[in-house]
A and B are shown apart, each in its own frame.
Chain A
Amino acid sequence: MEFLRPATWEEALAAKAEHPSAVPIAGGTDVMVEINFDQRRPTHLMDLNRIRELREWEVGDDTVRLGSSVPYSTVIDQLASELPGLALASHTVGSPQIRNRGSVGGNLGAASPAGDSHPALLAAGAEVEAESVRGTRFLPVEDFYTGVKRNALAEDELIKTVHIKRAEGPQQFSKVGTRNAMVIAVCAFGFALHPGSRTVRAGIGSAAPTPLRARAAEDFLGAALGDGGFWDSGRAIPPSLAREFAELCAGACNPIDDVRGSAAYRRRAVGVMARRTLGWTWESYRSTGNGRTTEGGAQCA
């Protein structure tokens, strides 16, 4: 094994082009586990910690540019108003030690269907900026996941930045697990109201081979809220509407039975999380009147 230590982003891209099998390592919270357990013996390990720009973030008018190695702890401490759903999701990652090292870029690189940030990214709306010596690509996050632990990166590409839409309304995240820390999701759900476009988005984790959006549920609820004048009136959502939304979310799942839970349980739980996160966000939207809430409360699902 060779240890590559690029000092700049350009050096990293050149090294990745020269050694396409090189495994990038930032926080190491996935890669080192595989190495420690002899599950992976890459020809090259490429440390990204020395590349300063990957640890930087910038809040723009519409999006947050999140460097791919910005740790979860920074998302929680610094970006909870701009990215409330992602901050809530980040808070459920591992433990403080893991959150100090792990990053959204790493979650995307690993592309585990159980990655905690995926449902939040799907709900908020995000693009992955992938770069190689050949150039730059911007991939909508829903197109980034291609299979279990597979993503759309070419072998010479690295994730530079994740561009995430700033919240313009309440967002929530919910995760099912056996305890409140150190848990791989049995399943997870991210939900965001987008009052500007009068749409909603829903992201599902750990209930299909890839993280995915519940598009039929989004379309149904978006149309129902619009047709019913809910965005303007702010009136309570009827239970039948919430139930239909929840059923469509459960229907979007394509889960498996495994050690963490059965497929039937996952479907059921996703429906419950969909109904609850819709309730929480809508209450927040109604109570603030203009739909601009930023702080997500850590409510127990």
Chain B
Amino acid sequence: MRVTFTVNGRRHEADDVWEGESLLYVLRERMGLPGSKNACEQGECGSCTVRLDGESVCSCLVAAGQAEGREVVTVEGLAAYAKERAGSAHTGGLAPVQQAFLDAGAVQCGFCTPGLLVAADELIERNPQPSDADIREALSGNLCRCTGYEKIMDAVRLAAARTGDGAPEVV
């Protein structure tokens, strides 16, 4: 079957999609967007987290056909998405959460990072001044097996502080 939906503001189409295929597979293997990672395929690890019509979801658990006509944001479009939300033009560069992950050293092997970035960005969008408990809860569906959670906490606190201060977003 053919599926058509918007990814990171652009209309994408894929043909010959198997009816049982996941949104994650279509993004990675048919649309050339490998940022969302494929690990557990059962919603346990969060490395495939994307926004589907604004909500953070595990793309491995969305049937491709269910995304028909909907809006998807992946980590590849996160910087532009965050810039648009902040009302500034996207001229390249990183989203505040991405910059904060770099600055805080919250990246080890990097496999969990795309999912964590999407989940963390959604948290800050919904709750610009999250408590530590809020951060832990928002990221409870994203596993990091390099044991880097403390740095990840630092990164989200940093991103929230920079966003909350009204400081110019790092470009």
Chain A residues in the interface with B (C-beta under 8 A): 1-3, 5, 25, 27-29, 31-33, 35-37, 41, 45, 47, 49, 73, 94-98, 100-101, 180-182
Contacts and interface: CB of A to CB of B under 8 A. Distances in A.
Contacts of A97: 43, 46, 49, 56-58, 119, 141
A41 B62 CA distance: 16
Contacts of A1: 18-20
B140 A100 contact: no
Given A27-B61, A28-B62, A96-B138, A41 B43 contact: no
Given A36-B60, A100-B55, 9 more contacts: A3-B19, A28-B62, A37-B41, A45-B65, A47-B66, A49-B66, A95-B142, A98-B58, A101-B61
Interface string B37-54: 000011110100100000
A29 B61 contact: yes
Contacts of A29: 43, 58, 61
Contacts of B89: none
Contacts of A101: 55, 57-58, 61-62
Kindly state the interface size class of chain B when it binds its partner: 20 to 34
B43 A5 contact: no
Contacts of A28: 61-63, 66
Given A28-B66, A97-B57, A182 B20 contact: no
Given A3-B19, A5-B65, A32-B63, A98 B141 contact: yes
B58 A36 contact: no
B44 A25 contact: no
Q: Which of B49, B57, B138, B142 has the most CB of A within 10 A?
A: B57
A124 to B, nearest CB: 24
A36 to B, nearest CB: 4
Contact of A47 (B46, B49, B65, B143): B65
Contacts of B65: 3, 5, 45, 47
B109 interface: no
23 contacts: A1-B20, A2-B19, A25-B66, A27-B61, A28-B61, A29-B61, A31-B63, A32-B63, A33-B43, A35-B63, A37-B42, A45-B20, A45-B65, A47-B63, A73-B55, A95-B43, A95-B46, A96-B56, A97-B46, A97-B57, A98-B58, A101-B55, A182-B140
